[in-house]
């Protein structure tokens, strides 16, 4: 996979390719997530987008992140009871969570094997498997 530049223009294309109407606010929010390639909470996204002067309302940030989620542009990572993180990396991967610092990083799923899971009932489909390794700094 070639390294690409996450310019605002490219964001517009990315949004369109996911069937999302690329408005100014949506482009800024996508840019915040993708240019950093980091896990961000809604709060953090709002702070980034509104650094210079307030441009985007809280409601829009939440609506947009939910929209991105539905359209498969980002993933939701639930590791901290107090806030949800949004992950611009949608390729299969797991997470490493440092409980004291709150730092969250990716674990490539490529070499991780999970076996022995019991079969699901017929009327159920797997939506996703989340593997979270919680670590702590040694005393």
Partner DNA sequence: TCCGGATATTAGACAAAGTCCAGATTGCCG
Partner DNA sequence: CGGCAATCTGGACTTTGTCTAATATCCGGA
Minimum CB distance to a copy of itself, residue 97 (Å): 9
Closer of 69 and 109 to DNA (Cβ): 69
CA distance 53 to 79: 31
Residue 120 binding a copy of itself, by CB under 8 A: yes
CB 7 within 8 A of CB 39: no
Structure tokens at 64: 């947009």
Cα atoms in the 13 Å half-sphere on the side-chain side of 45: 34
Long-range contacts of the stretch 11-14 (C-beta < 8 A, 24+) = 14/73
Smallest gap from residue 107 Cβ to DNA (A): 22
Span from 13-21, 28-36, 58-66, 104-112 in contact with a copy of itself (CB under 8 A): 104-112
First to last CA, the chain: 40
119 binds a copy of itself (CB under 8 A): no
Which residues face 76 on adjacent strands? 86
Q: Per-residue x/- marks for a copy of itself, 20-59, CB under 8 A?
A: ----------------------------------------
Q: How near is the Cβ of 29 to a copy of itself at its closest, in Å? A: 19
Binding site for a copy of itself (CB under 8 A): 76, 78-81, 83-84, 98-99, 107-108, 111-118, 120, 122-138
């Amino acid at each position: 996979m070639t390294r690409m530049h996450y310019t605002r223009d490219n964001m517009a294309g990315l949004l369109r390719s996911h069937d999302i109407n690329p408005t100014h606010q949506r482009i800024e929010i996508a840019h915040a997530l993708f240019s950093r390639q980091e896990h961000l909470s809604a709060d953090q996204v709002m702070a980034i987008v509104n650094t210079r002067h307030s441009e985007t309302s809280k409601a829009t940030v939440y609506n947009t992140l939910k929209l991105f989620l539905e359209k498969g542009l980002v993933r939701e990572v639930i590791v901290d009871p107090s806030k949800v993180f949004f992950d611009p990396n949608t390729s299969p991967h797991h997470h490493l969570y440092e409980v004291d610092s709150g730092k969250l990083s990716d674990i490539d799923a490529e070499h991780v094997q999970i076996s022995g899971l019991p079969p699901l009932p017929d009327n159920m489909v797997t939506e996703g498997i989340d593997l979270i390794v919680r670590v702590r700094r040694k005393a």
